[in-house]
Structure 1
């Protein structure tokens, strides 16, 4: 009989009956590393299933995730970060980047640095932007009993699908030379409003109109605050 190296309980089998720790750890190899990556990203939960559900029935799937079962979909924060990373890698690979009209005019300013950070960290940027959108959604849908963080979960899922849409469009644009950025922006906005409206009440037209208003206002406030922050920093240090 030996003691568990984790909880010090006596063990007589291959695993500790108290904490589940194996008696002897396997050596770290390529399989172990791959398993850890998959586990950290929660890909074993079914990222393809998550994408399918969010494309077909986004509102219902998110409501089910919030209220009933949180094991069938990939974790929302991980989902938006991973999908944003996929888009960033693909856009850099194909050298297809959104136009930054301010860069040439204010090169070297804090404003450019902030917008570059947003461009290079879409995952975190989407979460921050989602906070502004969530505040407007909370205001517009006050009669619904969803708190700020539950609304943010909804936005993480919808923004993740938006990032995948941009990734696919970037591949098409890189291979064909077609300029699809504006079209995909519109389609992504339509999808987000459809998903949000379906989440609240899919039978009411006002749900989709409120979703559109909240999304546009939240996005505007996010970029407005970024511009104000950049200008403020420039004024302080110049």
Structure 2
């Protein structure tokens, strides 16, 4: 038999080169349940990843980068999945409609970009993370992490931040008590702690630098978005 994935010859149940099964089972109810269990599995799935990132984010993310990439959920999948969870809860309860008001500005390109980002938190977090990673690279230069390793770290910790927002959004939607501002403060505390923990947990200055990098990253990202919006508006009006 020939592997349909890599065209290697197969004599056993699995391809010796890529691991693809020699014969795929049909997709049925059992397959769907197995996939759900695989995602949620507490040994290597989403729940395990959340637990480890809450307890010891620095060590677990360093292990993912340098030693074992099978224990945690893939970081890009993690940030997109957690962002979707928050988006679904927020839209269901109409949470952000009470916080974000664009009266008189709804036709500007900048607000339209913000609206797109509000509907696509996964992509927005990755883009914001790219700006934060640049500042982390500058402030933590001596640790020799490259840009992409820092971005991977940010996908994990920003994913937990999204879950913090999702939890408080759910409670707010049920209780009608304003809690999203509290979620924001807790999120900043976690992001600062997790990032400082990633570099060197016993060095207090790292936590202060982490907070500065997050603030600078967000500010520079929104300055760029605002500049793009204003430039497009000026061009289209002429």
Give TM-score scaled by structure 2 length.
Answer: 0.89
Tell me, yes or no, if structure 1 residue 48 matches structure 2 residue 47: yes
Segments of structure 2 that go 5 or more residues without pairing to the other structure are none
Q: Pairwise mapping of residues 16-31 of structure 1 onto structure 2 (< 5 A)?
A: 18=16, 22=21, 24-31=23-30
Alignment match of 2:2 (pick from 1, 4, 16): 4
Segments of structure 1 that go 5 or more residues without pairing to the other structure are none
Answer yes or no: is the 8 Å Cα contact 2:83–2:122 preserved in 1: yes
3-state SS of 1:26 partner: coil
Shift of 1:33: 4.5
Answer yes or no: is the 8 Å Cα contact 1:127–1:156 preserved in 2: yes
Corresponding residue number in structure 2 for 1:173: 172
The verdict on how the C-alpha distance between 1:179 and 1:70 changes in structure 2, with shifts beyond 3 A counting, is same
3-state SS of 2:142 partner: coil
Measure, in 1, the Cα distance between the counterparts of 2:159 and 2:169. Answer: 15
Corresponding residue number in structure 1 for 2:182: 183
Tell me, yes or no, if structure 1 residue 111 matches structure 2 residue 106: no
Tell me, yes or no, if structure 1 residue 229 matches structure 2 residue 194: no
3-state SS of 1:146 partner: coil
Measure, in 1, the Cα distance between the counterparts of 2:119 and 2:151. Answer: 21
Per-residue CA distance 1:169-220 (angstroms, 9 max, x = gap): 0010011111111111111011000011111111121100000000000011
3-state SS of 1:105 partner: coil
Shift of 1:146: 0.7
Shift of 1:5: 5.9
Answer yes or no: is the 8 Å Cα contact 2:15–2:22 preserved in 1: no
Answer yes or no: is the 8 Å Cα contact 2:49–2:73 preserved in 1: yes
Q: Pairwise mapping of residues 115-154 of structure 1 onto structure 2 (< 5 A)?
A: 115-154=114-153
Shift of 1:9: 3.3
3-state SS of 1:209 partner: helix
Answer yes or no: is the 8 Å Cα contact 1:137–1:211 preserved in 2: yes
Measure, in 2, the Cα distance between the counterparts of 1:91 and 1:210. Answer: 31
Aligned residues: 231
The verdict on how the C-alpha distance between 1:30 and 1:226 changes in structure 2, with shifts beyond 3 A counting, is same
Shift of 1:128: 0.4
The verdict on how the C-alpha distance between 1:107 and 1:71 changes in structure 2, with shifts beyond 3 A counting, is same
The verdict on how the C-alpha distance between 1:139 and 1:94 changes in structure 2, with shifts beyond 3 A counting, is same
Corresponding residue number in structure 2 for 1:100: 100
Shift of 1:105: 2.2
Measure, in 1, the Cα distance between the counterparts of 2:10 and 2:56. Answer: 49
3-state SS of 1:226 partner: helix
The verdict on how the C-alpha distance between 1:38 and 1:226 changes in structure 2, with shifts beyond 3 A counting, is farther
Corresponding residue number in structure 1 for 2:162: 163
Answer yes or no: is the 8 Å Cα contact 1:43–1:74 preserved in 2: no
Per-residue CA distance 1:38-67 (angstroms, 9 max, x = gap): 77xx55531111101100111111111111
* Aligned CA-pair RMSD: 2.1
The verdict on how the C-alpha distance between 1:66 and 1:25 changes in structure 2, with shifts beyond 3 A counting, is closer
Measure, in 2, the Cα distance between the counterparts of 1:54 and 1:208. Answer: 17
The verdict on how the C-alpha distance between 1:106 and 1:65 changes in structure 2, with shifts beyond 3 A counting, is same
Corresponding residue number in structure 1 for 2:215: 216
